Amino acid sequence: MRHLRGQSDSNGRCADFTMGVYPLLRDDTCWFLAADFDGEQWAADARAYVQTCRACDVPAALERSRSGQGGHVWIFFTEPVAARDARQLGAALMT
């Protein structure tokens, strides 16, 4: 939540964490997954994530955030998928 609130840790630095979004439908499915990348290495990290997506034959799109200081990688599904599966896919691609 620090990222969304614009807060930092007690030392004034942003704490590292992983953030993603997958809006849920009433049946616990979703149409897309988005991963958020920030920090000094955001561009390299986001490109590596996209390369991993491509290597796994998962179409992904990289978008630079409005601030220019981060980016988002979007994965859209052709049909609703279980949110649990989307979450697992995102985590597997991240690691």
Q: Which residues of the chain have pLDDT under 70?
A: 1-22
23-46 as b/e: b if 16+ CB within 10 A: eeeeeebbeebbbbbbeeebeebb
* Predicted local distance difference test score (pLDDT) of residue 41: 93
The DSSP result for the chain, as a single string, is: -HHHHT---TTSSPPP--EEE-PPPTTSEEEEEEEEEESTTHHHHHHHHHHHHHHTT---EEEE-TTSSEEEEEEEEEEEEEHHHHHHHHHHHH-
* Predicted local distance difference test score (pLDDT) of residue 1: 43
* Predicted local distance difference test score (pLDDT) of residue 65: 83
Q: How far apart are CA 7 and CA 25, in angstroms?
A: 29
* Predicted local distance difference test score (pLDDT) of residue 3: 47
* Predicted local distance difference test score (pLDDT) of residue 15: 57
* Predicted local distance difference test score (pLDDT) of residue 30: 93
